[in-house]
Structure formats: C-alpha cells, structure tokens
C-alpha cells in the first residue's frame, strides 16, 4: 500500500511517500516539497511527476491513500475520510487556526479534484483528546461562548498518541499498545479485569510544545487549549496568558486588536522572553554567554513544563513513564535534567550519563532506582499520519 502524507503550509507543500507491508510495517520511499506555492493543483501534479520519475508511483492508481495532519475542525475530530464535512469543519474554525486551516481546506479540495477515487484521510491534531473528561476541557465562560466553540481542544495529538503507543511497547504492555492502535476505530476498549493502570506523561517540546497526561493509552488532559497559542511558551507564540492582558495592552499601549494578536503570535514565547530568537539553540547559546533574558526564557520554559507535569502527576495519581519527544525534548539533555530536577521524592531520578548520551535517538534515561521510567522517543508525525491513514482506509473504505 502506497500512502502519501501531505503537509500543507500557507505557501508550502511537503510530502512523504510510505510503502506499507501490513498495517505497521512501513518504509519511507520518497520525500520532498515545494516552497512559495500559489497553486496546490500544480504542486500535486509536480509531486506525482516526481514520484513517477523515481519509479515509485506510475499513476494515481498506484497511490492507495493520502493522509493530512489537519489541525482543528468545528464539531469534527478523529481520523476520518477527508471529505466536504472536513473542509466545512476547517472553514468553521479558520479564525482559531488561521495559519493551518485555510491551506488544508484548499489543499484537500485540490487533491479531491486531482485524484478522484484515491482515499483521502484527515487526522485531526485534536483527535487524541476526544475522551478527555468534560471537567478538564471546559473553560469557565458564558454558555454562549461555549456554544460558539470556546473550550479546550488540545493539539499535537499525533505525536502524543505515538508516545502513548511506544512507551507502552517499551514497558511490555501489549494490551495498551493494542488499545492505542485501535483507538480511532474502536474508541477506548476495555482492558482485562485487574490490569494494572499505565500512567504516562508525554512532553512534546519543540518549536511548538505541549504536555499531555495519558492513562492506559488514552489522553486525560493536555496543556494546550482552544488554540495552539496556549499552554507552554512556544517558539514565538504566547502560551498561557491571563485574558485581562489583551484589553489591558490595547488600552495602555494603544494596540489594535490585530496588532495585539500579531504580537502574541509572532513576537512572544521564547522570542519575546529572550529577545534573541525563536530557536532554542540560539537562546541556549546566548544564555551560555551570560545573556540574562535568554536564561530567563529557558527558566520559564522549564518551569512551565514542570507545572504541567505536576498537574498530570496529581490527575493520574502518579506516573509510570515520562516521555520526552520533538526537537527540544530529543536533543537537550540539560533541559531534560532541569525539568526532572528534585523529583526523587516522587520516584523520578535521571541517570546523568544516560541522559547526556541520548540525543535525537530513542533511549531510557532514568536511573535504575527510578520508579518512574523516563524515555526519549523521537517524534515521527508523518509516519503516524501514514499509519492512521492505513487504519482508516482499511476500516472505512
């Protein structure tokens, strides 16, 4: 089965082609992409032309599905056929995800026109949070706001679901692995009576970051809320912020709503705090040279991550595994050490040598005495999208 994963930006189109032998055995056949895209139809033609020239896909008939990592849909989530309902759901929330929803809506439309008969699948980033208890997803806003869609949705679902599956595998919990794999087709299936609970806290720390609490493979809450402008400080986007801040700066600094929004989405996060840049490598290098604002940015990031880990430690009643994933989580032993500092009373102790040795690869970094296992699990979101696309096609088409 050949599955194309399409990653659509406002002016970019990136793709990866996977070949599946069985539901989970995939090999990456090709990857590529185009910048400054103005016509998705042409980009699709170019992509198919490239795959044809490389001998991977002779025609559209050799393509068995296309997967899209859609972000946020109004009244729609999960892993579903990318049809007109998906396009309408993306359009319905274009105000909340303006950088992501319009290109996906347009891109899916063009794929439908260009590749009729090829199954298209949308995996929403919110899909993993379908079973979060309502008490953890509601904001204390008037009913009319809730009816308009103001609630916690959560993001990075593909990544956190992969962390749930892989950590269960590393802990020898085949029952939970199976539960995670079937989640979008069957919902949370019952575990055997008396099965021990598996409590995982997953930290996706990258250009965009979030922490998710997971019980028996199913999310029970996450740090991100209505939009990806929430939770931890992001690269250049604000994380959690008191809602009073917006009217306050509009009145006192004379900012228009559009300018306040621009500053919260372009000039905040690690960039706003440090004044140096939005890439953690640059912030870290500046901090090492004595830049106090850069050091503060790192400290705020660590503090915020610990805050959310703490929230899920209580919510889960403990933790069996802590997972670090994505660019920052995979590559920064010093940040991982700072996040895990002084938690020995809670049963979490890092092995300093193992932690220093694991960069960009999978590994266990907890001490032998640590009750909580700590894993680094590299993110591979395109593969997750491809796998879920295969499962959706197999179940639905």
Separation CA 48–CA 6 (nearest Å): 12
Pick the closer one to ligand AMP by CB: 332 or 370: 332
Pick the closer one to ligand AMP by CB: 67 or 233: 233
Q: Is 272 left (phi over 0), alpha (psi -120 to 50) or beta?
A: alpha
Check: CB of residue 159 under 8 Å from CB of residue 166: no
Pick the closer one to ligand AMP by CB: 304 or 332: 332
Closest approach, Cβ 330 to ligand AMP, in A, equals 7
For tokens 């439908």, name the residue: 112
Check: CB of residue 212 under 8 Å from CB of residue 205: no
Closest approach, Cβ 302 to ligand AMP, in A, equals 14
Pick the closer one to ligand AMP by CB: 212 or 370: 212
Closest approach, Cβ 328 to ligand AMP, in A, equals 4
Binding residues for ligand AMP (CB under 6 A): 206-208, 235, 279-281, 326-328, 331-332
Closest approach, Cβ 278 to ligand AMP, in A, equals 7
Pick the closer one to ligand AMP by CB: 119 or 363: 363
Separation CA 69–CA 78 (nearest Å): 11
Closest approach, Cβ 83 to ligand AMP, in A, equals 30
Pick the closer one to ligand AMP by CB: 100 or 173: 100
DSSP 26: E
Closest approach, Cβ 341 to ligand AMP, in A, equals 19
Closest approach, Cβ 183 to ligand AMP, in A, equals 23
DSSP 43-64: HHHHHHHHHHHTTS-SSGGG--
Check: CB of residue 64 under 8 Å from CB of residue 73: no
Closest approach, Cβ 334 to ligand AMP, in A, equals 10
Pick the closer one to ligand AMP by CB: 48 or 205: 205
Pick the closer one to ligand AMP by CB: 321 or 326: 326
Tokens of 52: 């044809």
Nearest to 20 by CA among 39, 36, 1: 1
Query: Which residue in the shown chain puts its C-beta closest to ligand AMP?
Result: 327
Nearest to 341 by CA among 317, 378, 296, 310: 310
Separation CA 165–CA 142 (nearest Å): 37
Check: CB of residue 279 under 8 Å from CB of residue 331: no
Is 246 exposed, middle or buried, given 0-12, 13-18 or 19+ CB atoms closer than 10 A? middle
Separation CA 324–CA 205 (nearest Å): 7
Strand partners, 211: 203
Pick the closer one to ligand AMP by CB: 33 or 310: 33
Separation CA 324–CA 74 (nearest Å): 30
Closest approach, Cβ 158 to ligand AMP, in A, equals 12
Q: What is the largest CA-CA distance in the chain?
A: 61
């Amino acid at each position: 089965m050949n599955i194309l994963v399409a990653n659509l930006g406002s002016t970019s189109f990136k793709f990866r082609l996977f070949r599946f032998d069985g539901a989970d055995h995939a090999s990456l056949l090709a990857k590529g992409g185009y910048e400054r895209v103005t016509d998705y139809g042409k980009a699709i033609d170019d992509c198919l032309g490239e795959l044809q020239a490389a001998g991977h896909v002779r025609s559209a008939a050799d393509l068995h599905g296309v997967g899209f990592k859609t972000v946020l849909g109004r009244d729609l989530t999960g892993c579903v056929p990318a049809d007109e309902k998906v396009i309408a759901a993306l359009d319905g929330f274009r105000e909340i995800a303006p950088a992501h929803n319009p290109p996906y809506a347009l891109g899916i439309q063009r794929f439908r026109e260009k590749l009729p008969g090829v199954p298209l699948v949308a995996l929403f980033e919110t899909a993993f949070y379908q079973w979060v208890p309502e008490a953890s997803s509601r904001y204390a806003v008037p009913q009319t706001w809730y009816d308009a869609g103001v609630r916690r949705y959560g993001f990075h679902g593909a990544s956190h679901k992969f962390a749930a599956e892989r950590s269960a595998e590393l802990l020898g919990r085949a029952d939970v692995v199976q539960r995670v794999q079937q989640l979008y087709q069957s919902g949370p299936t019952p575990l055997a009576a008396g099965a021990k609970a598996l409590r995982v806290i997953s930290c996706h720390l990258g250009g965009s970051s979030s922490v998710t609490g997971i019980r028996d493979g199913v999310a029970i809450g996450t740090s991100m809320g209505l939009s990806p402008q929430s939770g931890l400080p992001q690269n250049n986007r604000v994380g959690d912020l008191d809602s009073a801040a917006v009217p306050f700066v509009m009145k006192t600094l004379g900012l228009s709503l559009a300018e306040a929004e621009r500053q919260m989405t372009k000039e905040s996060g690690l960039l706003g705090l440090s004044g140096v840049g939005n890439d953690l490598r640059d912030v870290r290098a500046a901090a090492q040279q004595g830049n106090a604002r850069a050091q503060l940015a790192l400290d705020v990031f660590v503090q915020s991550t610990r805050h959310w880990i703490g929230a899920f430690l209580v919510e889960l009643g403990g933790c069996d595994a802590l997972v670090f994933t994505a660019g920052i989580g995979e590559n920064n032993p010093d940040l991982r050490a700072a996040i895990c500092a002084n938690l020995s009373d809670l049963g979490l102790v890092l092995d300093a040598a193992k932690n220093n040795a694991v960069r960009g690869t999978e590994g266990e970094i907890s001490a032998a005495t640590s009750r909580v296992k700590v894993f680094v699990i590299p993110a591979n979101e395109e593969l997750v999208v491809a796998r879920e696309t295969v499962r959706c096609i197999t179940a639905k088409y």
